[in-house]
Amino acid sequence: MRAALRHTRDSEAMITGLAALTLHRFASAPPLPALDRIDVLVPRTARRLRSSAEVRIVRAQDLPVPLALDGVRVAPVARALADAVSGLTDAGLVRGLLTEAVRGGHCEPGTVVRELNRARLLNRPHVVDAVDSLLAEGRSIAEERLYEMVREFGLPDPMWNVDLRLPGGPHLGGLDAYWPDQAVALELDTRAPRQDDDALWSEYTRKREHLERLGITVVHITPRKLREAMDQQATVIRTALMAASDRQPAAYVVVLPR
């Protein structure tokens, strides 16, 4: 650790990888004495720094803004995760680290996946499997927060997790919540930035535009907004519900459980 600290005296260097996660208090990360080497993230231009028996130099074109933990410059969780996962083959450890990042409230799934994608790690089967579990975990947490928001802020109870269809017509899409009397739909935007993101966003956009042409107001909420500004999101939904009386009646749609 002393050798790593010497390297971080460089104006931009910071601890990353498993050591950084340990400093972030990850229970699933090994203790510092158990690590063979400590990763230090440095600018690509820092050529004078070299890896050693105790320190692995990780060079990058763009560095994140570091955090100060225990007097040490440390990479933020998402970046530290990507740097750690790049050197891991233990599927269980990878899954545990990613799950703890989300369950512990360190960062949102999309932020983690963005860093993994940037590091070109989404072509590794054990990483893809862990990401799938991560996204499922993130959605579950976001849904719980959504239920909490409706309860805590006294919003009318919606119909949860439904599909909409035109009578005798095509499927209009699934929704996380729907208020049929006000024709207000809510969708959790839990997309992760992966290679097919553009196509998925186009699908979201088409569904939203179609529903709005039918007179249905669609509210998109991200897990991050639910976590950081739940009161503001409740206000957005309440405003949409109250505005229903000023709009033209929506087209009749069939609501089915999803």
Render 14-39 in DSSP notation, one character per residue. EEEHHHHHHHTT-TTSPPGGG-S-EE
Contacts of residue 154, Cβ cutoff 8 Å, sequence gap at least 6? none
Res 216 pLDDT > 80: yes
More confident residue, 251 or 185: 185
Percent of the chain with pLDDT over 90: 52
Same structural domain for residues 164 and 47? no
Q: Is the pLDDT of residue 16 over 90?
A: yes
Confidence grade of residue 43 (pLDDT, cut at 50, 70, 90): confident
Residue 151: give its domain's CATH number.
Answer: 3.40.960.10
Domain check: are 20 and 38 in the same one?
A: yes
Give yes or no: residues 135 and 155 share one domain: no
pLDDT of residue 214 exceeding 70, the answer is yes
pLDDT for the residue 6: 55
SS3 235: helix
Residue from 173, 202, 197, 170 nearest 185 by CA: 173
Q: What is the pLDDT of residue 251?
A: 87
Q: pLDDT-based confidence at 58, cuts 50/70/90?
A: confident
Residues 135 and 25 in one domain: yes
Confidence (pLDDT) at 47: 67
Q: Per residue in 155-180, pLDDT tens?
A: 999 999 999 999 987 889 899 999 99
- 20 with 78, same domain: the answer is yes
Q: Can you tell me whether residue 12 is helix, strand or coil? A: coil
Query: pLDDT grade, residue 195 (50/70/90)?
Result: very low
Question: Does residue 113 share a domain with residue 214?
Answer: no
Q: The domain containing residue 105 runs over which residues?
A: 2-141
Same domain, 237 and 148: yes
Q: Is the pLDDT of residue 194 over 70?
A: no
Q: Which of 119, 141, 163 is the last residue of a domain?
A: 141
Asked if pLDDT for residue 23 goes beyond 90, the answer is yes
Rounded Cα–Cα distance for residues 100 and 112 (Å): 11
